[in-house]
Amino acid sequence: PIYKLPRPVINQDNLNFSFSGLKSSVINLVHNMNQRNEVYEVKDIAASFQEAALDVLLEKTKAALNKYKVKQLIIGGGVSANMGLRKRVVDEILGVEILIPKMRYTTDNAVMIGVAAHYLYQKNGALPNYLLGAYSI
């Protein structure tokens, strides 16, 4: 990756992780580059963000595995579809059984939410922006 982004929680002696500082760094990076009329590729910023986020996830995961003497690691949820995460988990986490679902089982609910929004729109038309409560359709 082209851009060096922070990984501040990686050196903290705990299992906590936060990406708020990383997200702020990306916002500031883009803002500053726009102010200087610099050209950048979104894919380069995204790759740099992914590398920083994966560094934190992997280091904290390894720390948790060591602390709790875990023998098996299950990767799940939408993030488990990330090929970079899959590769790094397999390459970097050793001595632990790793279970990662097949790609077809790793989708998050973004498509489901989009389909629900489509049917809601067909049924009711556009809704005011302030209606954010949960309800069934």
Whether 120 is in a domain gets the answer no
What is the reported pLDDT for 32?
Answer: 97
Two tokens, residue 69? 């003497």
Whether 47 is in a domain gets the answer yes
Whether 61 is in a domain gets the answer yes
Whether 95 is in a domain gets the answer no
Among candidate residues 49, 65, 54, the one with its CA nearest the CA of residue 15: 65
Query: What would the pLDDT profile of 25-60 be if each residue is shown by its tens digit?
Result: 999 999 999 999 999 999 999 999 999 999 999 999
Whether 6 is in a domain gets the answer yes
Two tokens, residue 113? 């939410």
Residue 66: what residue type?
N
Average pLDDT, the chain: 89
Alpha helices in 11-70 (DSSP H): 20-35, 42-68
Number of domains in the chain: 1
Whether 129 is in a domain gets the answer no
Q: How does residue 128 score in pLDDT terms, banded at 50, 70 and 90?
A: low
What is the reported pLDDT for 135?
Answer: 57
Q: How does residue 134 score in pLDDT terms, banded at 50, 70 and 90?
A: low
Q: How many CB atoms lie within 10 A of CB 103?
A: 11
Whether 58 is in a domain gets the answer yes
Whether 43 is in a domain gets the answer yes
